[in-house]
Amino acid sequence: MTYDVNKIRSHFPSLNTGLAFFCGPGGSQVPDVVGAAIAGAITKPISNRNTNTESEKNAEEIVVGFRQAVGDLIDVDPRGVVYGRSWTQLTYDFSRTLAKSWGPGDEIVVSRLDHDSNIRPWIQAAEAVGATVRWAEFDSATSELTVAAVEAVLSPKTKLVAVTGAGNTIGTRPDLKAIGVAVHKVGALFYVDGVHLTPHAAISVKEIGADFFGFSFYKLMGPHCAALAASPALLETLNNDKLLPATSAVPERFEFGTLPYELMAGCIAAIDFIAEMAPGNSTTRRERIVNSMNALEKYEDGLLEYLESSVKALPGVVMYGHAKHRTPTIYFSCAGHSSADIYTAMASKGVTLPASNFYALEVSRTLGLGDAGALRAGLAPYSIKDDVDRLVGGLKEILA
């Protein structure tokens, strides 16, 4: 089945504002079905999870459905899916838990390509126990984070390697599978931030070989929350802090307090929406998701080519993402103009084109952009050629 962008767009009430949204990497727009699922769950009979009353069963069904939907989305065992308020929160929690088994002499690897949420929690956790942090560097000329760059900082002392599935500004998609092989060769754990990758590609955590993989729903048409997946057996080995009466069961013992059932219902709806974007003739939800995401990737790659070549042709534009394998996200500045000023000028034209380091602070500094960063235009499932024309037309007027 082909990718019918107009049909998809008809589900997004926010598109009726007439705004052209390029802020998807910071948070996507949300389809009507997700809003309806959240409203439905919060107003139907709901009690704490159990199996006695209808209200308890409703909560139980949502939690089980949430884990199954994430399992289908990223190809993991639903019994190892942990709900989180955000990916940052999950990484802070897991870094503190994992650091309990580290000490002086142990090494942790972080990458310069990553969002700060997959860097600072590891540095702070390592510092707290006297472990050493080593940096895997990306090449600012090619934008690539190579397997060799990661291997260069691996050793038998390495306990964990934290790498992003895709750079959230320059879009680089490192070869996760090959990096995972190298990480496991030295006996370390592989922790992957899938926040910027998951909205743009079919993901199989099994194929990638990550020990931990997570993403945020609000980047892929869902509510503001996140999920982390690991094998239940690995989760069993982790000794996290928890309340005494709270269950020790996995994955529940990593989810603090009462779960937000309504948001979890919204997450299920977002994944079902993805499964129906371009499902093909498949019967299982997993297969429909893979078909949809493959169709989306093809669609976004085509539109990216148009976006990139049109923006590149404008006077004084400097592009920062050059990796061979990239998400449909461009990061650029315009000589003689402040990115922050362009951001506000474009906003007045109804185009969301934010400027920032977008918390990829190390990337911004490495590229010589300081902490201010540059402009980021990201495509999303509802993006169309007309949006790109409006972005390029607006920039042309500003740069004239």
Ligand X SMILES: Cc1ncc(COP(=O)(O)O)c(C=O)c1O
**Residue closer to ligand X (CB basis): 111 or 216:** 216
Residues that bind ligand X (CB under 6 A): 25-26, 86-88, 115, 117, 164, 168, 193, 195-196, 216, 226, 359
Tokens of residue 347, six digits: 């906003």
Tokens of residue 307, six digits: 């976006």
Minimum CB–partner distance for residue 363 and ligand X (Å):
10
Tell me 161's DSSP state. Answer: E
**Residue closer to ligand X (CB basis): 115 or 288:** 115
Minimum CB–partner distance for residue 313 and ligand X (Å):
28
Of 85, 28, 35, nearest to 265 by C-alpha is 35
Minimum CB–partner distance for residue 375 and ligand X (Å):
16
Q: Do 238 and 247 contact (CB within 8 A), yes or no?
A: no
Minimum CB–partner distance for residue 337 and ligand X (Å):
24
Minimum CB–partner distance for residue 312 and ligand X (Å):
23
Q: Do 332 and 22 contact (CB within 8 A), yes or no?
A: no
Q: Beta strands 212-216 and 189-193: pairing type?
A: parallel
> Residue 166 to residues 57, 72, 113, 187, 380: CA-CA distances in angstroms?
38, 21, 8, 24, 15
**Residue closer to ligand X (CB basis): 28 or 333:** 28
Cα–Cα distance measured from residue 389 to residue 349, given in angstroms and rounded to the nearest whole number = 12
Cα–Cα distance measured from residue 107 to residue 93, given in angstroms and rounded to the nearest whole number = 19
Minimum CB–partner distance for residue 362 and ligand X (Å):
12
**Residue closer to ligand X (CB basis): 49 or 196:** 196
* Distant-in-sequence, close-in-space partners of 93: CB < 8 Å, separation ≥ 6: 84, 240, 254
